Structure 1
Amino acid sequence: MTTLTRTYQEKRDFMRMQIKTPASLRLSDGRDLQLTCLDLSSTGVQLACSEPLPIGATGTLYISSGGQATAPLTADITICRVEEDNDSYRLGATINDFK
C-alpha cells in the first residue's frame, strides 16, 4: 500500500455505502429540491443535484427506504463541498443530526 493510498484511507473513519437513490432536500430557506443520493456514511453524504448550492447551506435530507418495513432516513445536513460534474453538481454534506 502506498503512502498516498494509506493517507486517503485514514481520512475515511466511516465506511461509505454506494446507494444511488432518489432523495429530497428541504433547505432552511424553505425550497425543496429533488436530487440523487450517491453515497452515505454515518457522518456524511454525497448528493447529485441539478443546481449548485452555497457551501454552508443547511437543510433536512429525506431518503426513502423503499419499503414500509423500514422508516425513511431523515437528517439535518450542511453542504461542505460543491463540484461541477458535467450537467449536474456533486454536493458533499456533513450529517449534523439524524431525526
Structure 2
Amino acid sequence: MSELSWYGVRCVFRHRELGVYEERLTLWRAGSFDEAISRGELEAREYCADLGSVEYVDFAEAYRMSGEPGEGAEVFSLMRESGLPAGAYVGRFFDTGAERTGS
C-alpha cells in the first residue's frame, strides 16, 4: 500500500424535491486517488440513503493535499482554462444567482 495522504473528494448530488444540485467536499486519508474516490463515493451513497430524496450523480473528483489538514489548509483545488474576463468567469461558473449557500 502507498503512503497515506489526505485527499479532498468532491461529489455532486441532486436533491429531487428541492430541484437543486449540491457539491459536497469530504476529507479522506488514503493511499491513492482511486482509494480516496472509492471512500468518498461510498460515503456519498450513504448520504443519499440517509436523506432519501437525494441522488448521487456519479461524479467525483479528488485532490491530494500537500500536508496535514488544519486551519487554512487547502483541501481542494480545480483549475480550468478560460478566455473569459474575471467577472464573466465568476458569473458563469460560481455566482449565477441560483446558488444556495450556508447550511
Give the TM-score, by structure 2 length.
Answer: 0.31
- Report which structure shows greater RCO (CA 8 Å, sep ≥6): 2
Name the structure where helix makes up a greater proportion of residues: 2
